Amino acid sequence: MKLRLGARGSALSLAQANWVARFLAGRAEVDIMTIRTTGDRLSAAGSPIEWKGDFTKELDLALLEGRIDFAVHSLKDVPSSLPQGLELAAVPLREDPSDVLVSQPRRTFGELPPGARLGTSSPRRRAQLLAARPDLQISEARGNVDTRLRRLQEGKWDAIVLARAGLARLGRVSEVCDVFSTEILLPAVGQGALALISRTEDRSTREALSRIDHAGSHREVLAERSLLVTLQAGCHAPVAARARVAGTELTLEAGVFAKDGARVLRDSASGPVEEAESLGRGAAERLLARGAAKLLQETSP
């Protein structure tokens, strides 16, 4: 069968689309169609992204209009609620979701000098980094991965924080100087995972994509997204989560943070993989009982 795959025009999105196409080889012939999104235009202009759906809405429309058969996204860019008629058809094997440090010159996080300039546009990363190192100067770092790496080399910052998965898909893992443990930096919900979105009514495409769905990775992101939905947290909220499936068990670490890192709320849960979503909800409810709603309200724009 032939399938039309919609992807953004960024180097990372195209790398992800080509990876999916190779993974489907022998099952389907995939034509990659590039669709520029609002998020791409804002990112290129150095403007802030107000809603993570800015990276997905044009692809959603192309799906609903039948111009493509499925779309690929970094799952952390996918809003918690999909448009009616679309569904998360598959989550392939997840990359390591860790955050990593890239510095110039090469240093680990602990080796950064007092007052070092660290670039990130993520409130989640900012909050946790300041909790660990309040001496750091955190500044905005917008643009795609290539842009941020180039600006680092130009001396705009002493270091930047990126997702290891993106560097892995671009073949640039060698530039990693340090990998953050979850004790210092919990990743974003869905980080490291790909989301393959299709039309609910398109059974043949859903069936083709189901063959590359990784059950453990899918359960992990269901737990994390359930946490996010229950917290009613927006895309700028400093919320983090890391679910892990080992055999029949799922464990979840979760956190909500003050934007300056001065207050940290963490929770953990474990249970059968079949209860992934309820484990996420339970962790969120416990965080809310300890004041997460007030903390999230204080960090809203």
Long-range contacts at 19-27 (CB < 8 A, ≥ 24 apart): 19/169, 19/194, 20/72, 20/92, 20/194, 20/196, 20/212, 23/92, 23/212, 24/208, 24/212, 27/208, 27/211, 27/212
- Catalytic residue list contains 77: yes
* CA–CA dist 201, 162 (Å, integer): 36
- Element containing residue 242 per DSSP (H, E): strand 239-246
* CA–CA dist 20, 61 (Å, integer): 21
**For residues 153, 159, 161 and 167, what is the CA-based torsion angle, rounded to 10 degrees?**
40
State the CB neighbour count (10 A cutoff) for residue 162: 24
CB 118 within 8 A of CB 231: no
Which of these is catalytic: 40, 60, 69, 77?
77
User: Active-site residue numbers?
Assistant: 77
